[in-house]
Amino acid sequence: MTDSPANENHPPAEAPDRGILPRVVVGSMGLAAFALVWFWIAGRATWVQGWALLLAFVGYVAALTWRLARADPDLLRERNRVAANVEPWDKAVMGCYTALLLVLLAVSALDSGRFRWSAVPNWVQLLAWVALCVAASMIWHVMAVNAYLSSWARIQEDRGHVVVTEGLYGHVRHPMYLGIILAFVGIPLVLGSWWALIPGFVIVGLFVYRTAREDRMLMRGLPGYEEYAGQVRYRLFPGIW
């Protein structure tokens, strides 16, 4: 997920992607299959925390996809493809991320849904929802200001990749990853599982690593990024790193 900032000069807007409907259909079928397996692992269809997160996720992704389809269809296409120049190390990172995400969801279903090994107080779950709302707002914001927010680490020469400092990019160089990290601290708690924090924290560490690798890639390959890094000192955590 190339989290380099982009300036006011976004790539020229193109016509809405005609292939979005088939992807929506396939995605909906995949989501339905996932839900069946997830709630089977949880052992009950009345797992409230699971339903709450699933419905919130579907609503958010649908709204974000609708916005991108109307306002920035070129970015939507970019986020739904794997370009030829994706960094090999990023493919490995994202493979690990996918595996860890599945582990987190399975552990949360077994813990909170089926066996109830741990009990997360309601007030902690509420705070976790607040954290997810903040993370979702951050991700929405960076997709609005960064027209080059690819799902993969790559220099997008084919899309006129440039550097800017709009919005949160004026404070940290990778605000998208900061939002993702905040989300993965909140998701296990929203699902009511202390045990799911273990894979959650591993995912956090993975995105810290991805931030460092991608930042070096941008330093080497994106004109103007080194000067931008001199102005915005922190990669991820304001005042820390």
Q: What is the pLDDT along the chain (241 residues), one digit of tens a residue?
A: 555 444 444 544 444 445 566 766 777 888 899 999 999 999 999 999 999 999 999 999 999 999 999 999 999 999 999 999 999 999 999 999 999 999 999 999 999 999 999 999 999 999 999 999 999 999 999 999 999 999 999 999 999 999 978 999 999 999 999 999 999 999 999 999 999 999 999 999 999 999 999 999 999 999 999 999 999 999 999 999 9
Q: What separation in angstroms does the CA of 127 have from each of 55, 122, 204?
A: 18, 9, 18
* Any domain includes 13: no
CA distance 223 to 131: 34
* Any domain includes 14: no
CATH code at position 223 = 1.20.120.1630
* Any domain includes 139: yes
* Any domain includes 103: yes
Closest CA to 99 of 16, 188, 176, 206: 206
* Any domain includes 7: no
- What confidence score (pLDDT) does residue 165 get? 86
What is the number of domains present in the chain? Answer: 1
Q: Whole-prediction pTM value?
A: 0.90
- What confidence score (pLDDT) does residue 21 get? 65
Cβ contacts of 48-51, under 8 Å, gap ≥ 24: 49/112, 49/113, 49/125, 49/190, 49/191, 49/192, 50/108, 50/109, 50/112, 50/113, 50/191
- What confidence score (pLDDT) does residue 94 get? 97
CA atoms within 13 A on the CB side of 131: 18
Q: 125, 186 in Cβ contact below 8 A?
A: no
* Any domain includes 193: yes
* Any domain includes 8: no
Q: Which residue has the tokens 């970015």?
A: 75
Residues ≥6 apart with Cβ < 8 Å to 229 = 173, 215, 219
* Any domain includes 189: yes
Determine the structural domain holding residue 186 and report its residue range.
Answer: 20-231
CA distance 171 to 221: 22
φ and ψ of 213, to 5 deg = -65, -45
Closest CA to 233 of 165, 132, 181, 138: 165
Which stretches of the chain are DSSP H helices?
A: 20-42, 48-71, 73-79, 88-108, 122-145, 175-190, 197-221, 225-231
Residues ≥6 apart with Cβ < 8 Å to 139 = 64, 176, 179, 180, 183
